[in-house]
Structure 1
Amino acid sequence: MDSENNSHVITVKLRVSPELKQKIAISAKAYNRSMNADMVARLEQSFDNESEYSPLRFSDEELAEKLNRIEKIFSNIDVDKFEEDYSKFTNTVDWEKAKKLEEKRKIKRLDDVDDVSVDND
């Protein structure tokens, strides 16, 4: 690495288990790169693949605003009314019928699966 690129790179000491070191070595060999390059690529990829809901994608202000909105939503819920409605709902459900319907759905899904053969070599 030339001195121009060195100014943009820092050294980080990283402790890993022997098992992880072995995985990195295997991966580096498979991708034809150094272990360092493999670790850097994997770290960069982990940030690129962050969920759109990751806290890393939002500023502190944005997170605070989202939390405030959630708190407002939940503060408007009448817990007693919710419990009453939920109780009415669960008391009116025919659980035996629901269980039978679920079994029928499972059987239908199994019927939709093509025959699969497994070779035991």
Structure 2
Amino acid sequence: MKTKTILEWLTLSSSIYFLAKDTQLLDRIKELSEKGKDEINKIVSESQLDENGNELEFVDKLILKTHELKEELDDKIEELVIKFYKKINVAHLDEIKALNEKLEKSDSAIALLEARLNRLEVK
């Protein structure tokens, strides 16, 4: 009987945990939707002018804002990719080319040194 009671309490506590987690999620979604509403209202209330001096329509404002957000997202993604590459030590193509050039210069310098050494050995 005690084992059954413990299992029931565990089940009940896990259910309460998931309900609390869902409540937090719903609160977060509500908060984000309110911020979204405020942002949309802000966009609509602002008067933006096109190159001719005419006020932009709502759809044009949304398109403009979407392009701005896309550019910001692209910049953030680029930063994250660069950080990720540095973290896993993946060499960039430019770095590989630079290393290959250094290797070729080193090979030619070694060849010159060998030629000088051979010349000195002959004397």
Q: With structure 2 as the length reference, what TM-score do the two structures score?
A: 0.29
Task: Please tell me whether Structure 1 or Structure 2 has the larger radius of gyration of its CA atoms.
Answer: 2
Q: With structure 1 as the length reference, what TM-score do the two structures score?
A: 0.29
Report which of the two has the higher share of helix: 2
